[in-house]
Homo-oligomer: A and B are copies of this chain.
Amino acid sequence: MNDIDVAELQRRLAAFAAERDWGQYHTPKNLAAALSVEASELLEIFQWLTPEQSAAVMEDPETAHRVADEVADVFAYLLQFCQVLGIDPTAALAAKVERNEKRFPLPEAPEPEDRHSSE
């Protein structure tokens, strides 16, 4: 993931939409709806699977392609949503991870040197 620049992808998505005059449709509300719809299309692949079957979806090439394709759609709408509202998704997630590390502290906090051995 290091080789491809997320910000560059965001710029390509924005140019792609602008060239096709899709900006009029890309209100934050519509993009949030589209993001939600795409996330459901990803879920649809898993809806009747057992937990074990769900862990093996990448073994079938056709299903693997479908999963990756839905991931791309979700990611695309997430980046476009962030673009139109000026949100940096990576910074938002970094902030959240830091809040969560405080909000859900480790159940039993071992001594720093013990921590390693308990993992």
Contact = CB atoms under 8 A, between A and B. Distances in A.
A51 B29 contact: yes
B27 A55 contact: yes
A37 B43 contact: yes
A78 B75 CA distance: 8
B32 A48 contact: no
Given A71-B82, A101-B16, A28 B40 contact: no
Contacts of A41: 37, 40
B51 A50 contact: yes
B71 A92 contact: yes
B107 A20 contact: yes
Q: Which 3 A-B residue pairings sit nearest by Cβ, starting from the closest?
A: A40-B40, A29-B54, A72-B96
